[in-house]
A and B are shown apart, each in its own frame.
Chain A
Amino acid sequence: MRSDMPNDMLNDMPDDVAAGTPRIRLDHLFREFELGGGERRQVIDDISFSVRPGEFVSVIGPSGCGKSTMFNIIAGLETPTSGDVLIDGAVANGEREHTAYMPQKDLLFPWRTIVQNAALGLEVQGTPRKEARRAAAGLFAQFGLKGFEHSFPFELSGGMRQRAALLRTVVQGREILLLDEPFGALDSLTRIEMQTWLQEVWAEHSWTAVLITHDIREAVYLSDRVIVLSARPASVRLDVEVDLPRPRDLSMTTSPEFVRIEEQLIEVLHEESRKAFEAQKALR
């Protein structure tokens, strides 16, 4: 097992071995929270999985199962109680410089124009303002935002704002993108358009990404792999390879292979949701 090796050994591995190293590896991740009064709540119970470079992995699970906590741990915003996050083979618990994070709400700042918002990450990292904004502006055409550089966020539609938020995420040039239900707040038509668009852009850039979603169809449509988490405490319940050719288009969502995967996921997810619901009822 590679994870049993000391870290310096992993780092010292020759390049040809390292080529097979996953971009992200979660190694027996546990996370508990102190509830006060000596009580503890276990949120994550032994999550292990890997994401290859350039792979798009979706994570679905019942509400409140601990997805966000897992995300925060990968993003370095929280540390695991035990277990490790490995980025390119090196332990990276609590390190924030590897990932770019896109929250569900666009969180565009009303005092910044779209190009200024898009450049935020770079500016925070210390890139000179002008340079940061030039880098961000370069992606505007591809993100369907050309001509809106100097608009303010409130002047844009929901879909455009989400694209601006995604642009702000990718322009940081981090190794991993963490997308937390990026389309969750959009209406269903805009959502489908965004998924199609994202799918196209993805084919060109092959970013490594982990997507949290509640939308099974979205997960299957966009991903190379879908991971289903169990009810809290979260563990990996199912890990499904989506072996559909790319680029994908909407017609593919009715293909037998697509439907088969979708059904498989729905079944497991519903089972876990029921468990989560029962557990909540028992608490009351």
Chain B
Amino acid sequence: MTDVQQTATGAGARPVDPIAQAVQPRRRRRPRTRNLWANVVPSVVILAIVIAVWEVLVRSLEVRPQVLPPPSRVLEQGWAQRSTILEHAGATLQVTITGFAVSLVVAWIIAVSIDFSPVLRRGVMPLLVASQTIPIIAIAPLMIIWFGFGLLPKMLVVALVTFFPIVVGLVEGFNKTDREVTNLLRSMGGGRVKEFLFVRLPSALPTFFTALRIAITYAVTGAIFAEYVGAQQGLGIYMSVQKNAFRTDLVLAAVLVTAVLSICLYLLTFAIERLVIPWSFKERKARSAK
């Protein structure tokens, strides 16, 4: 940003706050790759150690693969079954995405309505909290009784486990707007709708993306859980079947794929956040550089 400031003062404009500018710290640009490495390397090292210990112990103690296969066998067998596993993963991804989409739409509708109506807020919020006390483990089989083995009951399970953090994130985000900003907007002639569009909505977006990240990690496990109870396809039912066949190695291979899927979706939220609210990224980066 220093180059912008130089052109500004150099263009013959009124010299702007020489004092304040001198005091402003120069922002160092750290190479992004180094940053990434610093974040990723420690966890990769720990993971590698755990896997190595696992491999060595299982082999030296001659544990039966039905009980605990060595990581190498998990990879090997998983690779051999890759087309089947990928097919199931595709089904799980579909459930996750559609269920999450439903969850997003519902969460936004509820959160915006709550923001506009204090009565609704008092009425709906306790019910939402109550909805989170329902044990999914009990409700998922019922969903299948009610809605069959198709997509719908699984979407509903995913939506049920993910919409709550999104609603809470949005409602709290909307409420971050302080009284003075409201007064400013009102003095400009804005009513409640304009206040929402000009202030409450944009200021809620960073909180929304944080909530989105929490929710998306629940989404994949939610989908797998729903499939586990009963499905025609999906990683959940695949794990269930392989477990019954004592193919522990393939269960673990499916677990690995699940983890990869979750992490990819999690990382995707950062990419979307960056596209939707680039200002938030820039601001955070500037702050951390100070």
Contact = CB atoms under 8 A, between A and B. Distances in A.
Contacts of A141: 13-14
A148 B4 contact: yes
Contact of A152 (B184, B190, B282): B282
Interface string B191-210: 00010001100110100000
Given A110-B280, A111-B277, A155-B1, A144 B180 contact: no
Nearest to B282: A152
A93 B146 CA distance: 60
Nearest 3 Cβ contacts at the A-B interface: A147-B8, A157-B20, A146-B13
Interface string A67-87: 000001001110000000000
A107 B187 CA distance: 13
Interface string A95-112: 011011101010101111
B183 interface: yes
B21 interface: yes
B183 A101 contact: yes
A76 B183 CA distance: 10
Interface in A176-206: 178, 189-190, 193, 197
A216 interface: no
Nearest to B198: A124
A75 B280 contact: no
Nearest to A144: B14
B20 A107 contact: no
A203 B41 CA distance: 61
A120 B183 contact: no
Query: What range describes how many residues of A lie at the interface?
Result: 35 or more
Contacts of B188: 96, 100, 120-121, 124-125, 172
A123 interface: yes
A124 B185 contact: yes
A160 interface: yes
Chain B facing A: main interface SS: helix
B11 interface: yes
Contacts, number: 106
Interface residues of B, number: 40
Contacts of A120: 188, 198
A55 to B, nearest CB: 21
A75 B187 contact: yes
A197 to B, nearest CB: 8
Contacts of B180: 103, 105, 107
Given A96-B189, A111-B202, A123-B198, A146 B11 contact: yes
Given A125-B189, A147-B11, 7 more contacts: A75-B187, A103-B184, A110-B280, A111-B202, A111-B277, A146-B13, A155-B1
A189 B283 contact: no
Interface string B202-242: 11010000000000000000000000000000000000000
Nearest to B23: A157
Most buried by A among B14, B188, B202, B282: B188
Q: Is the interface of A mostly helix, strand, loop or mixed?
A: loop
26 contacts: A77-B183, A77-B186, A99-B187, A100-B187, A100-B188, A103-B184, A107-B181, A109-B202, A109-B203, A110-B279, A110-B283, A111-B203, A112-B279, A123-B198, A124-B185, A124-B190, A125-B189, A142-B14, A146-B14, A154-B283, A155-B4, A155-B286, A157-B20, A157-B21, A158-B20, A190-B17
B187 A157 contact: no
Contact of A77 (B187, B282, B287): B187
A101 B7 CA distance: 32
Contacts of A159: 16-17, 20
A142 B186 CA distance: 27
A125 B190 CA distance: 7
A189 B19 CA distance: 8
A190 B187 contact: no
B24 interface: yes
A146 B187 contact: no
Contacts of A77: 183, 186-187
B60 to A, nearest CB: 57
A214 B262 CA distance: 56
Contacts of B9: 147
Nearest to A76: B187
A120 B14 CA distance: 24
A3 interface: no
A141 B17 CA distance: 14
A125 B194 CA distance: 10
Nearest to A97: B189
